[in-house]
Amino acid sequence: MTAQGRGVLVTGASGGLGRALAAAFAARGDRVAVHYGSREEGARETLRALPGEGHVLVGGDLSDPAGAALVADAADEGLGGVEVLVNNAAVNDAHPPLTTSYEEFAELWQRHLAVNLTAPALLGHRVAGRMVDRGVRGRIVNVGSRGAFRGEPDYPAYGASKAGLHALGQSLAVALAPHGIAVASVAPGFIDTERVAHRLTGAEGEVIRAQSPFGRVATVEEIAAAVLWLSSAEAEWASGTVLDLNGASYLRT
């Protein structure tokens, strides 16, 4: 892994945290593959705003194994090799068990697992194999969730998929360490993004912010800074970690 100008694939970079992640890597001189699933225009906005050169746009449906392979291949070709993979793309649709029909519950469960867990596993397989072939001491960082630990009663598949993502990261950390590839995960709580902006207003917003003793939620820049460090050469010894980023809103033992 070179000190500057790495090839970085950020999934789900059409806005929110993904956009902030792409911007953070580009600001340090890396070349970024900006991935989108369906929000192409948002991804193009991300791409246009990135400093530096060599960035590429990569579209693909991560819920389909063939789509995940195409995303990895397009990023590899466009960047001339991927040295950092950030698994950020995620589905998070409400599906309370007792008020969601069986058919909808089953459909949403499968989609959450496909995008939030299976896709990172397949992308990791594809990207890590090429890192090993090239002798690259690369990095994989997974964006998990506080919900993996505290439970998500209205989003059970989301919580389960993120718990699986954390476990996947630890398994890959052990498997890939002999090749100099470090793998880690972050577990954010609430983040101030456009996707949840409606929940951060009024009484619900007050309750959410009160979960942290800081009385607020995270900014995308705070989470991006942690991901940037975990992807650095200096963070190799953090491989296998799941880093809590929730403002002391949930403390696990």
- CA distances (Å), origin 151, targets 45, 80, 111, 113, 233: 34, 40, 19, 16, 33
- CA distances (Å), origin 106, targets 103, 120, 200: 5, 21, 29
In single-letter form, the type of residue at position 189 comes to G
Adjacency order of strands within the sheet including 139-143: 56-59, 31-36, 7-10, 84-87, 139-143, 182-188, 242-245
Return the SS3 of 135.
coil
For 51-105, give the DSSP string. Answer: -SS--EEEE--TTSHHHHHHHHHHHHHHHTS-SEEEE---------TTTS-HHHH
Among 36, 102, 155, 158, the active-site one is 158
Q: 134, 163, 167: which is closest to 147 by C-alpha? A: 163
Would you call 158 a catalytic residue per the annotation? yes
Token pair listed for 146: 């506080």
Catalytic amino acids?
Answer: 158
